[in-house]
Structure 1
Amino acid sequence: MTLLPRAESAVRAGHPWVFGESIKTQNRDGKAGEFVVMYDRRDRFMAIGLYDPDSPIRVRVVHQGKPATVDRDWWLERAMEARGKREGVVFKAGTNGGRWINGESEGFPGMVVDRYAGTLVVKLYSAIWLPRWDEIEGVLREVFAPDHLVLRLSRNLVKAAGEFGIEEGFRGEPGEEVVVFEENGLSFESAVRHGQKTGFFLDQRDNRARVGEMAEGREVLNLFSFSGGFSLYAARGGASRVVDVDISEHALESARRNMALNPALDGAIHRGVQADVFEWIEDCVEDFDLVIVDPPSLAKRERDREGAVRMYRRLNAAAMARVRSGGVLLAASCSAHVSSSEFFGAVRSEAGRSGRRWNELWTAGHAPDHPAAFAEAEYLKAICLEVE
């Protein structure tokens, strides 16, 4: 296969995706999961990828540079590298939940592998893995040695997986569908078979810890609270009161269960409010010392980007109005189509428009177990402002 010049340059620079319209020539039609060898315009080896005939991302690159043999030992080595980066850094005393492999950024495009105590959850987003699933499952079991392994599929893969005789759920010995794991000494539940993502939002771990460090004596408002991750850290950090707001009663109930898993947090006053956050925050007249705004992605596609930026402005303007003098606003975004500069700019702009004095404490991106090796992978960002 050869690529058009712009795509060739991108692959040489390390970009892991080749779109269908970027392919100049290929010797035949490929099947899902077949290896693709790419050559440059001078017929020199350039990269190896996996073919996906039904996706706009036609090839997902797994190796670029000099020729190499990509086989079971190759995958084993990549998985061992990922494990080595996390042992003693992410997974240490008090933490047995986190991400082992983060997709394209670690050589496993279209796949994430998360750990919840002794349960491994693998989620596939591309059909490239279906014909080689038995091999990959064996590699993951050898490297990570889980007690249980759960396979989850993006919705567009369910039918194709059936053609390979692959179904979602526990592989081999079944375990508990809701697993309790630890994160920095706090206990949380993860619905490993049916919960959002792989059962929990692991990517905000470091920002949750920062909230815990700021929470002492504060009244905390957690907007889009989901299962209460930020709230538990705030309660442990000494918050005098925590209010969760989420549209889902199921999410609020999960937060209550997570609180109950940690008896030491009984001293914190915790209340859940079921409401549409966009409406609730604009009608709210109560002020708080620490307000957290962490909505789900507001831009699923590139064409949603401008509307998402406007929504971030609206949300954070309303949230900042509810921050007491001397309080803190933590605003986060998980919209990949909204860049860090756009998001931070929107929050700073609304802070300036508020007429209040403010000081930027910090900004943050991805946690160490969620590395982003190319621009499209950089979805998570957060900014923290102290409001006078």
Structure 2
Amino acid sequence: MIKAILKKKISQRVVVNGHPWIFANEVNLVDGEVEPGDIVEVYTHDKKFVGKGYINPASQILVRLLTRDKNETINEDFFYNRLLKAWHYRQQIGYIENCRLIFGEADYLPQLIIDKFNDYFVIQTLALGIDKWKPAIVKALEKIFQPKGIYERNDVPVRELEGLKQQKGFLSAPFDTKITIMENGLKFLVDIENGQKTGYFLDQQDNRRAIQHIVKGADVLGAFTYTGTFEIHAAAYGAKSVLGLDISENAVAQANRNAVLNGVEKIVKFEAENAFDKLKLWAKEGRQYDVVMLDPPSFTKTRENIQKAITGYKEINLRGMKLVKPGGFLVTSSCTNLIQPDLFLEIIQMAAKDARRKIRQVCFQTQSADHPIVWGWENTQYLKFLIIQVD
């Protein structure tokens, strides 16, 4: 097998912390001719075995490790066993009907995402090396689950960094890609083909339950609602009124359908508006709500733009706080993995200071446990979810 030999001085991230990414500038030489996507063995400068993974000379991340076991062969059985192990973990922690079955690096399958919606599966293969094993992954899914349908959502720009084209489509017999799922006793429409990411944000499913006590009898404002999951939970948990804002007319239309589906259309309504502008305008007008919920998109995917993201999160939370009645609550999230938890809390504190409001933490959580976190691997902990009381 072709060998990649690491430089003498490399990051502790690889050898000590066990992170699967090996950057091109950490490799001294590749012994042999490789085809992009080939499996290679990785060794330290003094010939100690590190692991096996797939290589792509066109990528800044030259090798992504799949195993640290020298005796483990990367073949169809390998992927079947990894998927089965991941499924057993979800079953053990109670995520069965809808869950992230494979969360990339955290499930030791770098750049592979698989979401399970009832009996339907959505796959993303975000690197060349894992994309080559897509047939084996589909075969394993069929063997373990006998699914009603499998769909790929590889219409993401990150694939182009790996020399892959963006694409989406059926990996099984065609099926109706608009399905309905149950979450926390509520029904939600999922558009597998055209929805954001894989069609639905499963990572907030536990956090949506966390609002149940603070929204009872409350007037609630939700911004960046997407298809209205937080807002519909609020209505179902006893809110007096709920208004949700999202810039996407398609998302708002689906949110309104979700409201009807759950019989809360008289309590909650959704409007297609630019949330940034509306929050600023309404704060100036002196509008106030018992609960304000913010779930903005990621403000950056690169380290170069971290300062821009910090400014964006501070500004949006400052505007949100100004709209909260004294004694009310702000519910806020960040899905930018480059903004680590301590920094996020610091940003909220800065926003409170500028808004001249006192805050008290109610709860601070991360993504649901079907998106496991590996300590020391920053990219596996990306979601921050915070509820604060605002005085």
Alpha-carbon distance in 1 for matches of 2:101, 2:69: 25
How far 1:161 moved relative to its partner? 6.0
CA distance in 1, matches of 2:145, 2:127: 22
How far off is 1:6 after superposition? 4.4
Distance 1:356 1:156, change over 3 A: closer
Give the whole-Å Cα distance in 2 for the aligned partners of 1:315 and 1:161.
35
Describe the superposition over 1:78-120 as per-residue Cα deviations: whole angstroms up to 9, x where unpaired. 111111111263435xxx2221110111011111000112111
Shift in Å, 1:131:
2.6
Contact 1:19–1:56 (Cα < 8 Å) also in 2:
yes
Q: Summarize the alignment of residues 121-160 of structure 1 with structure 2, pairs less than 5 Å apart.
A: 121-153=122-154, 154-155=156-157, 157=159
Q: Check whether the contact 1:36–1:51 (CA below 8 A) recurs between aligned residues.
A: yes
Q: 2:301 aligns to what?
A: 300
Aligned to 1:176: 176
1:108 matched to 2:106? The reply is no
Decide whether the 8 Å contact of 1:52 with 1:59 is kept in 2.
yes
SS of equivalent residue, structure 2 residue 310: helix
Closer/same/farther in 2, CA of residues 353 and 130 from structure 1, 3 Å limit: closer
Could you tell me whether the CA contact under 8 Å between 1:117 and 1:179 is conserved in 2?
A: no
Please, which runs of 5 or more residues in structure 2 have no aligned partner? none
- Is residue 219–residue 288 contact of structure 1 (8 Å, CA) maintained in 2? yes
Measured at CA, do residues 269 and 357 of structure 1 come closer, stay the same or move farther in structure 2, by a change above 3 Å?
A: same
What amino acid does structure 2 have at the position aligned with 1:382?
A: F
Work out the CA distance in 1 between the residues paired with 2:91 and 2:279: 41
Percent of aligned pairs with the same amino acid:
28
Equivalent pair of 1:75/1:136 in contact (CA under 8 Å): yes
Q: CA RMSD in A?
A: 2.0
Judge conservation of contact 2:80–2:140 (CA < 8 Å) in 1: yes
Q: Aligned partners of 1:243, 1:70: CA distance in 2, in Å?
A: 51
Alignment partner of 1:78 is 2:82: yes
Q: Any idea what the Cα deviations from partners look like across 1:30-69, whole Å, max 9, x if unmatched?
A: 2232111011122121111111232211111111255422
- In structure 1, the partner of 2:197 is 197
Counterpart position of 1:50:
54
For 2:145 and 2:373, how far apart are their aligned partners in 1? 22
Cα deviation, 1:331-387, whole Å, max 9, x if unaligned, reads 110112212111111102222333333211111112101113211222111221112
In the alignment, what sits opposite 1:371? Answer: 372
One-letter amino acid of the structure 2 residue matched with residue 132 of structure 1: W
Q: How many pairs does the alignment contain?
A: 380
Secondary structure of 1:363's match?
strand
Q: Distance in 2 between the 1:214 and 1:32 partners?
A: 52
User: Comparing 375-384 with 101-110, which one deviates more in the overlay?
Assistant: 375-384
1:4–1:22 contact (8 Å) kept in structure 2: yes
User: Which of 67, 70, 73 is the aligned partner of 1:69?
Assistant: 73
CA gap 1:32/1:87 in 2 versus in 1, 3 angstroms? same
Shift, 1:157, TM fit: 4.1
Instruction: Look up the equivalent residue of 1:10 and give its one-letter code.
Output: R
Offset at residue 200 of structure 1 (A): 0.8
User: 1:367 and 1:156 mapped to 2: Cα distance?
Assistant: 24
Report if the CA contact (8 A) 1:45-1:67 is conserved.
Answer: no
